[in-house]
Amino acid sequence: MHASADPYLYDVTFVVVDTETTGGTPDDGSLIEVAGAAYRGGVRLGMVDTLVDPGFPIPPFVQELTGITDAMVAGAPRLEEVVPQLHALLGDAVVVGHNVAFDVGFIDAAMACCGQAPIANPCVDTLGLARRLVRDLVPDCALGTLAAGLRLEHQPRHRAMADVLATADLLHRLIEISTGYGVLRLSELLALPERLSPMPLSARGTAA
C-alpha cells in the first residue's frame, strides 16, 4: 500500500457498527437494531441508530437479552429504509466492530435483501486487537469486560448504540496502545493481528 493510499490513523474515517439480531447467523436471523458512528481523529462525525422491524416475532430469549420487544419494533423502519442510511454512513470508511465479522455478516445480508452489493470496506476487529494488546490485563475479551477493566467511558448493554460507543472507546484506546508497536498508519493497524500472536493470560487475568 503506497503512502498516499495509506493514511496516518488520525486521518482515517472509522465507522463503528453494532447489530442486534433475532438469531446467530443471517441464515436464521434478521436485524432488529443497528447503529453506526463515524469517527476521524477521535471526533464523532455522524451516526445512524435505529430499530428495525424484522417482519416476524422476536424470540423470547432475544427480547430478554436486549430488552427489545415486538411492540418496540412494530412500526419501526424495515430493511429497505435502513440500508440506504447505512450505505451512506459507511461510504469508503474503515468498518470497526467487536467481532466485526458477525455484524458485517448481517449488514451484508441486509444489503443483499435490498439489491446492494456486500460491503468491501477494510475492517478492524477490536476483539482481535484486544487479544493481542490487552489480553493479559483482563479475564476475558468480552466487550463488557474490556470496558470495565480498561475503565472506558461507555459500557455496553446489548443495545446497538451503547455497544457502538463502548467499541469506539475501545478502538481509540487500542490505537493508543498500538503506537507502542510502531503502528501509525492504517496498513500497520490492519496488519497487527497477523504480526502479533494472541497474548496469554497473566496471573492477574487468571485471578480476576
From 2, 98, 154, 158, active-site residue: 158
pLDDT digits (tens, 9 = 90+) for 98-128: 999 999 999 999 999 999 999 999 999 999 9
Mean pLDDT, the chain, integer: 94
Pick the closest to residue 142 from 166, 177, 122, 176 (CA basis): 166
State the pLDDT at residue 199. Answer: 85
Q: Where do the domains of the chain lie?
A: 3-207
> Cα–Cα distance between 37 and 17 in angstroms, integer?
7
**pLDDT of 201 higher than 90:** no
Assigned C-alpha cell, 164? 457502538
| Phi, psi (degrees; rounded to nearest 5) at 189 | -70, -45
pLDDT digits (tens, 9 = 90+) for 43-54: 999 999 999 999
- The residue among 119 and 199 whose pLDDT is bigger is 119
DSSP annotation of 29 reads: -
**pLDDT of 208 higher than 60:** no
**Global pTM?**
0.93
Query: What is the percent of the chain with per-residue pLDDT over 70, rounded to a whole number?
Result: 94
Is 158 tagged catalytic?
A: yes
State the pLDDT at residue 4. Answer: 57
Q: Which residues contact 135 (CB under 8 A, 6 or more apart)?
A: 141, 198, 199, 200, 201, 205
Mean pLDDT, range 157-163, rounded to an integer: 96
pLDDT digits (tens, 9 = 90+) for 168-185: 999 999 999 999 999 999
Domain 3-207 sits in which CATH superfamily? Answer: Ribonuclease H-like superfamily/Ribonuclease H (3.30.420.10)
> Cα–Cα distance between 38 and 27 in angstroms, integer?
28
**pLDDT of 5 higher than 90:** no
Query: Cα 134 to the chain's mean position, in Å?
Result: 18
> Cα–Cα distance between 161 and 13 in angstroms, integer?
18
